[in-house]
Structure 1
């Protein structure tokens, strides 16, 4: 069975190149076809009911076609690729519409301009997708296209026991990529906690030590449940990470060159949609590698 297409939002700039490089890497790893989409503005209204400025509309279409031609040249001789020019006033909402039309199983975008090299910056396009996309959203870090890894070699899943379970979506990703999984629990250290109450303290009342122990128990349970969903040859490991906040805990993790990070949408969002909450938002903005945000709710069987 052919995997659902990967849809990448492409613009003729660095963020477009970053997204294209990551989408191509993911699509090749999973055997999925690739759809390259450029969202162009709709035509301007002209005189008369239902009329538009034909000259301006023709220019917008021509410019969008040139952008897609550039993407085709970037991809070289890659097969199984479609190119779509989609009119919409909002780039993120337009990509969501294009993804539905293409039957895509994943949307890939680049980071907003001005973000730190190697980090993820959320702009208006990402903000629209991260609050309503119908499929997982994968964000490329700034500069990813400069030196992409040869493959995506491990999936690290930010895990926290709660109402929304990332394991079904993570299992689908790992199986599609044929990649091992690392389940990680991020344990923020309470503000103002003395240094003696950090990792390794022996005090039985140490709040961090208790939080770490509880996180390790949760991870062991999650790993056992994930094992039933993954092919037997894929390794599952667990790790706790502590820091002054979620971002600091995340940045303390060792990463492989081909690391892919995954986090779950907030339970406050709509079912089967991506919705960035407070914790997931902190994870996305601190991500030091490509990160995919999974929709709320288990995927349909």
Structure 2
């Protein structure tokens, strides 16, 4: 993975501003190019009596895009590129744009539902998280209202397997490029706190900690390791401190298609409970090593 060209999917509302604010932050810290894109419904393509209405519809779409980009320029400035694409689905439009351009990641805001400080997976995110050829960065609702000055730590949600081992390699490179510390956490989730469950959780914790320690062997950069326990994913994630400028990194499901983003059930739960932005990586072939250049 590289961070040389960041794509922000933008709508002129609070969700769009949240994602754009994070995209600007990341692009500036990585000294990367930034493209701001708005996806609009396609104009009518068939000729006939409706041509006059089609002309008015095209003019309306152009006016909306111009007004939206005027808002975006107040955040991203004149150095960013601003483009409009047409598609019946905003997520599918961003997927197509990512396939046909040199972007390294796509950044979007939260869906319309959900509480402040959390990520809601709307239709745009759903389309991206099943088909994007590049990593997808999801932004919590209200992120732009209390924006950190910089990304200040990366946390990988780790589980044993080649997919997460690849994610650790990516995260090490990203941390070095952004000059931030790296942390690996694993979640140990149990249904209740009975004695037998406690013993099982203790065994799981020991195994998970050993897995994490093996994952960071030989790394030159110091990496924090932490195991989080809870009745569920939400309570487990609440058992640690999250920095204001933290980013969470997730590997795609190992059952998904190669070179695409694809989520499993646990990853979806982590995204919905995450108190910070989440970067979902694409699934790489077994044994491959993703690298990052600045």
Checking the alignment, whether the CA contact within 8 Å between 2:16 and 2:108 is kept in structure 1 is yes
Q: Return the structure number with greater relative CO, CA threshold 8 A, min gap 6.
A: 2
Structure 2 gap ranges (5+): none
Residues 177-230 of structure 1, C-alpha deviations (whole Å, 9 max, x = no match): 2211101011111x24416754xxxxxxx10100000001001001115x1xxx
| 2:248 match | 261
TM-score in terms of structure 2 length: 0.90
Q: 1:270 to 1:174 in 2, by over 3 A?
A: same
Q: Which of 216, 236, 239 pairs up with 1:223?
A: 216
What SS does structure 2 have at the residue aligned with 1:133?
coil
Could you tell which deviates more after superposition, 172-181 or 262-271? 172-181
- The alignment covers a number of residue pairs equal to 283
C-alpha RMSD over aligned residues: 2.0
Q: How far apart are residue 300 of structure 1 and its match?
A: 5.5
Structure 1 gap ranges (5+): 199-205
Counterpart CA distance in 1 for 2:195 and 2:147 is 39
Checking the alignment, whether the CA contact within 8 Å between 1:109 and 1:140 is kept in structure 2 is yes
Could you tell which deviates more after superposition, 62-71 or 24-33? 62-71
TM-score in terms of structure 1 length: 0.88
| 2:12 match | 12
Is the counterpart of residue 214 in structure 1 residue 207 in structure 2? yes
What SS does structure 2 have at the residue aligned with 1:273?
coil
Checking the alignment, whether the CA contact within 8 Å between 1:272 and 1:299 is kept in structure 2 is no
Q: 1:58 to 1:82 in 2, by over 3 A?
A: same
* Runs of 4+ residues over 4 Å off in structure 1: 298-301
Counterpart CA distance in 1 for 2:234 and 2:185 is 13
What SS does structure 2 have at the residue aligned with 1:108?
strand
Is the counterpart of residue 176 in structure 1 residue 181 in structure 2? no
Counterpart CA distance in 2 for 1:107 and 1:215 is 31
Q: 1:182 to 1:88 in 2, by over 3 A?
A: same
Counterpart CA distance in 1 for 2:108 and 2:96 is 14
Checking the alignment, whether the CA contact within 8 Å between 1:153 and 1:258 is kept in structure 2 is yes
What SS does structure 2 have at the residue aligned with 1:164?
helix
Counterpart CA distance in 1 for 2:234 and 2:261 is 20
What SS does structure 2 have at the residue aligned with 1:60?
helix
